[in-house]
Amino acid sequence: MSKETTVQLKNVMLVKSPFQQEQMEKPVDSFVGIPMSSDSPFVEIIWDPVRKNLAIISKIKKESFHFLPKLGGNGAPLPNNDKNSAAMMPYQQERVLIETFHEYFISDKKDIEAFLTAYAFNEDFAWKAFLAKK
């Protein structure tokens, strides 16, 4: 017997949210999508105004390796004693297998519009204005 899976549409609320990256002096206007139901297949939806794409964080999990700061006995990052790389990485790092959520990125404007039209239930939110900004 096969188990059918149905995706609930119109279950994400779009809200204005500041967006900031490390190299930016101050945040810029953006929006995020918050799932309003536990049945939603997403953890979060984020409009990236710098790259002009929609990032979708799904509930699908995957294991992947990431470099994380190596911690000492007191929980603080251990300093990097290698003189050649200390300027780039002030702390020691270790490669750790961690479980993360799978991410999708949509960059085509028509595909973004189709996606948000299908999932966002607050149609009065002016998300199209964010897509139009240069």
Strands, sheet with 93-106, edge to edge from the N-terminal-most edge strand: 12-19, 28-35, 42-48, 53-69, 93-106
Domain boundary assignment for the chain: 12-60+100-132
Evaluate the CA torsion angle 54, 59, 60, 65 in order and state its sign: positive
Of 91, 85, 42, 89, nearest in space to 71 by CA: 91
Of 41, 39, 49, 57, nearest in space to 17 by CA: 49
User: Per-residue pLDDT tens for 52-100?
Assistant: 999 999 999 999 998 999 999 899 999 888 877 777 788 889 999 999 8
- Whether the CB-CB separation of 116 and 123 falls below 8 Å is answered with no
Q: Judge if pTM exceeds 0.85.
A: no
